[in-house]
Amino acid sequence: TTDDPTEELYRPPYDPSFTINLPIPEGAGADPRSDAIVAQLAQNLSENKVAVASRGEVPGIYTVTADDPLYDVDAGEALSGIQFRVPADAQSGGGADDPITILDPMSGAFGPFTELRMWEVDVDHDAKTLTASAAGLFHYNNDGALLNPDMSPSLARPFMGWGTGSGLSYYAGLIHHREVEQGVIPHAIRFAYSCAHSSDVFREPATKTDQPHPICGGNTNADADFAMDMGMRLQLDPSVDCDARTTPVPEGSDGALETRFLRMFCHALQDYGMIMLDGTGPGGLVIYMENELTADWAQHIGAEQWDSYSYIVRDQTTPDDGFVRGPSDGIPWSQLRVLAAE
């Protein structure tokens, strides 16, 4: 629950019919390659630590007001020659991707609920410019209204410019601080998966794939049974008792917030699942959260270890990260399954 009962309930972005916003239907079948994919994933996470990104490769989520100034946007062939409002505190996320997401509830140029996502962005508040390697405009309304120029629903697809490697917005499936504050993550969770264990195929909700990515060099297995497709949805076994999951915590923490988040995350994996919407380095798996810049995660999740919350979701098979774990700790990653394409 929220601390303020008068505060409006946060709901995830995009159309209510969007796959990411829909619970996994009862009786959903498994993909024929599920066992091979999950076995490889579990092996990867026994050799490479699962990561929860709250800095660097994930964007802050900024919402503008009518008083914020217009900045010139230059993202080359992707999106240029437009202006977009930018709040004074807006910063890029850092890391190699250096992203940002800016929401305008009432854009004069593009209409209500317009989202600007940018990749490798430089925010120059003095010159009032946004310069990036790629960018896209999306409508993020979650009321079912058809705001896109072609009258299509808001499904995290750009109506101008480009999406991410999956074709969708960063915001799709991103864990938002308001959800954690409220105690429920009401959507499938966005994650990035190993380029060495990804196929060159995609399925909905993805509209394309950039995998296997060149960062893998020749270390790719695109045609293997264990190769994951962009857009694949994974579900944690519903028989796992999420409310009994535990986590080690850094010294000085009582573990209450960290355990609360773990169990909330666990329930989301059972009810909505997690969807591959990006790639990462060989053997990796990265969970995407809103950037610390706008989330203030410490008050919602508790203590970091090595500037990260990754330790919370790691199970007892993880490589050493300084904690001792037992069978109830973290997420039992080997108990996932890949759902069949809809």
Q: Summarize pLDDT for 283-316 with one digit per residue, the tens.
A: 999 999 999 999 999 999 999 998 999 999 999 9
Residue pLDDT, tens place only, 202-235: 999 999 999 988 888 777 888 899 999 999 999 9
User: According to the model, what pLDDT value does residue 220 have?
Assistant: 81
Q: Report strand pairing: 70-74 vs 129-131.
A: parallel
For 257, the 3-state DSSP assignment is helix
Half-sphere exposure of 23 (CA within 13 A, CB side): 10
The model's pTM is: 0.95
State the Cα–Cα distance between residues 98 and 85, nearest whole angstrom: 19
Helices (H) and strands (E) counted in the chain, each on its own, are 5, 17
For 43, the 3-state DSSP assignment is helix
Residue pLDDT, tens place only, 148-180: 999 999 999 999 999 999 999 999 999 999 999
Using pLDDT thresholds of 50, 70 and 90, give the confidence band for residue 7: low
State the Cα–Cα distance between residues 274 and 268, nearest whole angstrom: 8
Using pLDDT thresholds of 50, 70 and 90, give the confidence band for residue 146: very high
For 171, the 3-state DSSP assignment is coil
**Cβ 15 vs Cβ 153: under 8 Å:** yes
State the Cα–Cα distance between residues 144 and 140, nearest whole angstrom: 10
Rounded to an integer, what is the distance from CA 287 to the centroid of its chain? 6
Q: How far is CA 106 from CA 71, 89, 136, 169, 266, in A?
A: 16, 19, 17, 19, 35
User: According to the model, what pLDDT value does residue 221 have?
Assistant: 85
End-to-end alpha carbon distance in the chain: 33
Q: Which of 237, 238, 259 is nearest to 248 (CA)?
A: 259
Using pLDDT thresholds of 50, 70 and 90, give the confidence band for residue 3: very low
**Cβ 310 vs Cβ 51: under 8 Å:** yes
- The ranges assigned to domains in the chain are 26-57+174-338, 61-161
User: According to the model, what pLDDT value does residue 2 have?
Assistant: 38
Asked if the model's pLDDT at residue 125 lies above 60, the reply is yes
Q: Is 49 exposed, middle or buried (0-12, 13-18, 19+ CB in 10 A)?
A: middle
SS3 content of the chain, % helix, strand, coil (to 5): 20, 25, 55
Asked if the model's pLDDT at residue 260 lies above 70, the reply is yes
For 338, the 3-state DSSP assignment is strand
Q: How far is CA 237 from CA 151, 267, 268, 335, in A?
A: 38, 10, 11, 6
